[in-house]
Amino acid sequence: MSFTRLLCAAAALAAFVGPIAAPVSAMAQSKTVAITAIVQHPALDATRDGIVEALKDAGFVQGQSLKVEYQSAQGNPATAAQIARQFVGSRPDVIVPISTPSAQAVAAATRDIPVVFTAVTDPVSAQMVKSMEKPGANITGLSDMAPVAEHVALIREILPQAKRIGVLYNPGEPNSIVLVKALKDEAAKAGLSVVEASVPKSSDAQPAVRSLVGKADAVYIPLDNTVVSALESVVAVGQQAKLPIFSADTDSVARGTVASIGFDYFQVGKQTGAIVARVLKGEKPGDIPVTLAKGTDLFVNPKSAAAMGVTLPDAVVKRATKVVGQ
């Protein structure tokens, strides 16, 4: 075959193959990420948005090379399990459960689909991973273990006369059990006692905080999804009874708590999304160590503090990352 005829044949082959090859390549790059959360509230919503943003930064653009599915369990563990089974049935490339209850539901539902959890306080105690360094199997993720010692120190700084800290939490959330234990340990070191009030469901939050009036000098809300989803009702009681309410998450400060040292959950989501991108690009989840959330901010709300009978010290306000409620 002459050189000219060879070139013509090659061109004809390229013309035939080209239109087929392009869609195949595009299909190979398209990924599906299924995200679920136990409930909708600002911190968890910000986490979800941060995940999508980080995936975009990594080259996975929603609507182009990425499909994102999202469902909330609306605070119901049975619904969380149902969502987990539904996601497993749809076979996404990665499932991303936000919060401990959702992560436990997903971990129980699959042993082969990659799972990257986030906003999980203690994944080892929750029996989702073998260890932080070597999670194993099909799962890894990010822990948002709260800086409880710093929270206790902040409460003492703002309320130096306080002796008793009330804590609202759902005993059905494993993350809350871990944090309440940590609170008791840190409070004891600071010479404070802890008064517990149980909140099995969000509608119990207001009567629970009312039960602490006269029994506690301040109330602490851990990273408890049940209580945080009903935060406004808790804040209302705090303002009526002049009972200062503190939170473990900074997003709750804008909703009326006095102050918090915590994570920017949009950044928590971005840190999580970076892990998801690694898995989408071929890394095995079980080989990726569980990451600890990075960066803590101090948020204060002087207006809400005043409504609860508290004047924030100038030193606290001056070093705050963000002053809200003004």
Instruction: Express each pLDDT in 147-192 by its tens digit.
Output: 999 999 999 999 999 999 999 999 999 899 999 999 999 999 999 9
Separation between Cα atoms, residue 109 and residue 31, nearest integer Å = 21
**Residue reference for tokens 């599906």:** 32
C-alpha torsion 277→279→281→284, nearest 10: 160
Instruction: Express each pLDDT in 98-109 by its tens digit.
Output: 999 999 999 999
Give yes or no for residue 3 having a pLDDT over 70: no
Nearest by Cα to 232 from 260, 251, 214, 218: 251
157, 83 contact by CB (below 8 A): no
Q: Sketch the domain layout of the chain as residue ranges.
A: 31-145+264-292, 148-262+297-323
**CB atoms near residue 62 (< 10 Å):** 13
Separation between Cα atoms, residue 70 and residue 87, nearest integer Å = 10
Would you state the pLDDT for residue 146? 92
Fold of 31-145+264-292: Rossmann fold (3.40.50)
Please give the CATH number for the structural domain made up of 148-262+297-323.
3.40.50.2300
Separation between Cα atoms, residue 324 and residue 123, nearest integer Å = 32
| H or E segment and range at residue 14 | helix 3-29
Q: Fold identical between 31-145+264-292 and 148-262+297-323?
A: yes
Contact residues for 252 (Cβ-Cβ < 8 A; gap 6+): 42, 43, 221, 228, 231, 260
51, 269 contact by CB (below 8 A): yes
Contact residues for 168 (Cβ-Cβ < 8 A; gap 6+): 197, 199, 205, 208, 209, 212, 219, 220, 221, 224, 227, 234
pLDDT grade for 326, boundaries at 50, 70 and 90: low
Mean pLDDT of the chain: 91
For the ranges 28-32, 41-45, 126-130, 189-193, the one whose mean pLDDT is highest: 189-193
Instruction: Express each pLDDT in 252-292 by its tens digit.
Output: 999 999 999 999 999 999 999 999 999 999 999 999 999 99
Q: Residues 268, 274, 280, CA angle at the centre, nearest 5°?
A: 135
**CB atoms near residue 65 (< 10 Å):** 16
Read out DSSP for 23-76?
A: HHHHHHH-EEEEEEESS--HHHHHHHHHHHHHHHHTT--BTTTEEEEEEE-TT-
Instruction: Express each pLDDT in 34-63 by its tens digit.
Output: 999 999 988 999 999 999 999 999 999 999
